Amino acid sequence: MKKAVFYHAGCPVCVEAEESVAKAIDGGVYKIEYVHLGEARDRIAEAEGAGVKSVPAIVMEGQPFHINFGASMEDVKG
Amino acid sequence: MKKAVFYHAGCPVCVEAEESVAKAIDGGVYKIEYVHLGEARDRIAEAEGAGVKSVPAIVMEGQPFHINFGASMEDVKG
């Protein structure tokens, strides 16, 4: 299985992206993990290390894809 | 089948998003159409009407999701 991590912060834009884009990804090919960075603050460094600049974002096989704009990582950290 | 339209302009960021995000979408649920707006210029108004501000973007069931940033619609039109 390929690996995808969907990072979000519970924001409305995040929820839209999760319900449409993330949920549309083929679960037979990708194992998707959902990470709420407002709750799992110990995962923030990992997300930034993967190149995540804002949420919602999905990191697929290590490559970051930002989906619309909900909040910056600075907002998430703040 | 649900409907998704992936709009791009052949840019490197577009190709990355197509190969990772668009190709990961479950083809058993969504019928995805790929539209190169540099070539299919008659589809630009349709994309803008769906709320597409930049490419690459995927419109899923009428809702636009911008994936990273390759080019603005102004660049595509220009």
Instruction: Indicate if the pLDDT at residue B78 is higher than 90.
Output: no
The residue behind tokens 């995808």 is A4
Question: What is the token pair recorded at B21?
Answer: 């995000």
* pLDDT, tens digit (0-9, with 9 covering 90-100), for A18-73: 999 999 999 999 999 999 999 999 999 999 999 999 999 999 999 999 999 999 99
- Do the Cβ atoms of A7 and A50 come closer than 8 Å? no
> Is A72 an 8 Å CB contact of chain B?
no
DSSP symbols for A13-58: HHHHHIIIIIHHB-TTTEEEEEEETTT-GGGHHHHHHTT--EEEEE
- Strands B54-60, B30-36: parallel, antiparallel or unpaired by DSSP? unpaired
> Is B27 an 8 Å CB contact of chain A?
yes
Is the overall model pTM greater than 0.90, yes or no?
A: yes
| Three-class HEC string of chain B | CEEEEEEECCCHHHHHHHHHHHHHECCCCEEEEEEECCCCHHHHHHHHHCCCCEEEEEEECCEEEEEEEEEEHHHHHC
Taking the alpha carbons at both ends of chain A, their separation in whole angstroms is 35
Residue type, A69: F
Peptide bond into A56 cis (omega under 30): yes
* Pairwise CA distance, residues A7 & A31, whole Å: 14
Looking at residue B40, what DSSP letter applies? -
Smallest Cβ distance to A25: which of B17, B24, B61? B24
Instruction: Indicate if the pLDDT at residue A78 is higher than 90.
Output: no
ipTM at complex level: 0.95
Instruction: Determine the distance in angstroms separating the CA of A25 from the nearest CA of chain B, rounded to an integer.
Output: 4
